[in-house]
Amino acid sequence: MASYPKLPHEYDEDELHDSSRPPPLPCKEARVLKGHEGAVLAVRFNPTGTYVLSCGKASEVLFWDMVDGQVVARFKAHAGVVTAMAMHPDGALLLTSSVDGCVKVWLK
């Protein structure tokens, strides 16, 4: 029989502090970010964790403030669906890819 990871509430207190086991995953919904038109295909934190970037079918990249859950910026990134994105660890560059056949590099 397959062994599945426990849900967070199934861990005993001593298991939570056992460094040989992975920590439980968050399972309490804190906020829903709504603002995309169509499917969301990727979500990434910025390097400091203060913002979230998301992209999807509407060809846009959205920047979300994690304090209030509001969209603080959005821009049309490609002519087609934005399929993926990655931010440089120093936060100065953002890369996006699309079904339009392009990878774009964005500067601050």
- Write out the H or E segment, with its range, that includes residue 13: helix 13-16
Name the pTM for this structure. 0.73
Quote the pLDDT of residue 29: 83
Q: How confident is the model at residue 31 (pLDDT cuts 50, 70, 90)?
A: confident
Residue among 61, 52, 43, 59 nearest 98 (CA)? 59
Distance between CA 106 and CA 95 in Å, rounded?
6
Distance between CA 36 and CA 55 in Å, rounded?
8
Question: Domain boundaries in the chain?
Answer: 9-107
Contacts within 8 Å (CB) and 24+ apart, 24-31: 31/69
For 9-107, the fitting CATH number among 2.40.10.480, 3.40.50.300, 2.60.300.12, 3.40.190.80 is 2.40.10.480
Give the model confidence (pLDDT) of 34-70 as tens digits. Answer: 989 889 999 999 888 899 999 999 999 999 998 899 9
